[in-house]
Amino acid sequence: MGTEIKDPKKKDSKPKSRMATSIFAIIIIPIELIVAIIIYKYVFGGPSNFIDNNPANNPLTGNLLGTIYKGGWVGPILMTTSLMVFTFFFERLITIHRAKGKGNLTRFLSTVRENIFAVNIDAAKKACDLQRGSLANIIKAGLTKYQEMDKVQGVEVEKKVLAVQKELDESTGIELPMLEKNLIILSTIASIATLLGLFGTVLGMIRAFSALAHAGAPDAIALASGISEALVNTALGIGTSMLSIIFYNYFTTQIDKIVYLAGEAGSSIVHTFTYHHSDK
């Protein structure tokens, strides 16, 4: 039976970062809900936005803030989702920018591969130290295992290759969740924002027609005003959903690029190791 190659020191190097990111999401969402309610009540519901400076009256002609306020209680929820979209956009933007490290990723990968093919592993590791970021961390882990397996005696080449590949896979598994963290929030908002907007519009339409029914004689101006106040929720929901989809697709594309480059580098490491050890 062959000897299984293990690294007893191997552990998740990112627990603190993951915990910090989770705590950030847990804290920021209720804070943004409170902020949205305050803005809704004191900015959108400010007396200057309404006829006779009275929020109980209709909003001034063309006053968007007052119209949103009259859209009902769904407004603050939609505002919260909008704030969340921008918050997690910047949070993911900073995270992925750090994950890319310093300099151009394609140029970095080219340098690393040249050093790997030349079996200059130390130079490749030095390039990783200069680049930093998730891609560099994955490659450096593979290169470190490469050198470790290079010194191991009495183990078949196939097992050494599997150990190098396993190290690359585990390193990718450590880095990838950090890149994808909180993207689920953007994808969820993309799905529910439009539905929330439509829900607010339906509630607004019910209020408008109910008020019209109790008023007796048809009032075209009141009806048009009520409908516009209701439809503003749909507009907010669709706008929020569109931004969320755009941001989500952008980040997934950037993450896919990093994973693809990591796969390219990993393939180079494994193939080079196999080629230079196949005759030993």
- Tokens 């400076």 locate to 53
Query: 3-class secondary structure for 129-168?
Result: HHHCHHHHHHHHHHHHHHHHHHHCCCCCHHHHHHHHHHHH
Indicate if the pLDDT at residue 131 is higher than 60: yes
Helices (H) and strands (E) in the chain, counts: 9, 0
If one counts every other C-beta atom within 10 angstroms of the C-beta of residue 180, the result is 14
For residue 116, give the nearest of 88, 139, 136, 85 by alpha carbon: 139
Domain ranges of the chain: 15-277
Q: What is the pLDDT of residue 102?
A: 87
pLDDT band at 23 (very low <50, low <70, confident <90, very high): confident
List the single range of 2-16, 78-92, 123-137, 200-214 with lowest mean pLDDT.
Answer: 2-16
> Is there a contact between 121 and 141 (Cβ–Cβ < 8 Å)?
no
Identify the DSSP state of 42. I
Task: Tell me how far CA of residue 104 lies from CA of 3, 111, 132, 258, in angstroms.
Answer: 40, 11, 12, 12
Q: Across residues 28-54, what is the average pLDDT?
A: 92
List the end-to-end C-alpha distance of the chain, in Å, as a whole number: 20
**Overall average pLDDT of the 143-147 stretch:** 90
Confidence of residue 217 (pLDDT cuts 50, 70, 90): low
Q: What is the pTM of this model?
A: 0.81
Which residue in the block uniquely carries the two structure tokens 């995270």? Answer: 95
Q: Cβ distance 36 to 80 under 8 Å?
A: yes
Confidence label for 11 from pLDDT (cuts 50, 70 and 90)? very low
Question: Chain-centre distance of CA 191, in angstroms?
Answer: 15
